[in-house]
A and B are shown apart, each in its own frame.
Chain A
Amino acid sequence: DTAVSQTPKYLVTQMGNDKSIKCEQNLGHDTMYWYKQDSKKFLKIMFSYNNKELIINETVPNRFSPKSPDKAHLNLHINSLELGDSAVYFCASSQRGTVGGEQYFGPGTRLTVT
């Protein structure tokens, strides 16, 4: 009954490869996010989707492409992986219009590019 789940938990791959990370939430929320936490532990928002529509798109290389097939899923596809993409990626969800609008985070996917 995990609220926000991500797969895989660990991902090790070589430079130049293309990979995807999947995220699913069962909270009935209408907004989902991707965050990146680098080796220095800085946590930064990358994207957010509301009802499958892109709302936030920070300065992220266009090698990163989020895809939201439905409200409960937000996947992150990364093309031509680079060493600097190594990080922990967190998915989150929230419900717009609620007073708190608190975000619920997944357990993270640790991506290592060699």
Chain B
Amino acid sequence: DAKTTQPPSMDCAEGRAANLPCNHSTISGNEYVYWYRQIHSQGPQYIIHGLKNNETNEMASLIITEDRKSSTLILPHATLRDTAVYYCIVRGHNTDKLIFGTGTRLQVFP
């Protein structure tokens, strides 16, 4: 079973920041938080991951709370092409297995 909970859906206006929350209250000390997304009819796409520090790359920023029980993925300027299902996944560093939950369906509107 997935160790994360996410809202089933969110809306965001184009050009605004999309903030996608994730709860992972049972995360262990050696487990990372990963975010993937799946655009309709495509394979999942890696976005970002982190352990305890905030992370940023060209796609997004990841903010992890100090107690690591929750995190937020931030798409700073959402575009229509960011419409997708976003999955928050907790994964140990010594396992290859990704356990996908139900994710958050983000709809970006004009």
B interface residues, tally (CB under 8 Å):
18
Q: Is A70 an interface residue (CB 8 A)?
A: no
* Residue contact A104 to B46, C-beta cutoff 8 Å: yes
Q: Interface segment, A12-20, A37-45, A61-69, A77-85?
A: A37-45
* Residue contact B42 to A45, C-beta cutoff 8 Å: no
Q: Is B98 an interface residue (CB 8 A)?
A: yes
In the complex, which residues of chain B have a beta carbon less than 8 angstroms from the beta carbon of A28?
A: none
Identity of the chain B residue whose Cβ is nearest the Cβ of A33 in the assembled complex: B96
* Residue contact B96 to A42, C-beta cutoff 8 Å: no
Known: A41-B85, A100-B49. A105 touches B98 (CB 8 A): no
What are 28 residue pairs bridging A and B, where the CB atoms are less than 8 Å apart in the complex? A4-B43, A31-B96, A42-B102, A43-B38, A43-B100, A45-B97, A45-B98, A48-B96, A50-B96, A55-B96, A56-B97, A90-B43, A90-B44, A92-B44, A94-B96, A100-B46, A100-B49, A101-B93, A102-B49, A103-B44, A103-B46, A103-B96, A105-B44, A105-B45, A107-B42, A107-B43, A108-B41, A108-B42
Q: Which of B's residues lie within 8 Å of A, judged by CB?
A: 34, 38, 41-46, 49, 85, 87, 93, 96-100, 102
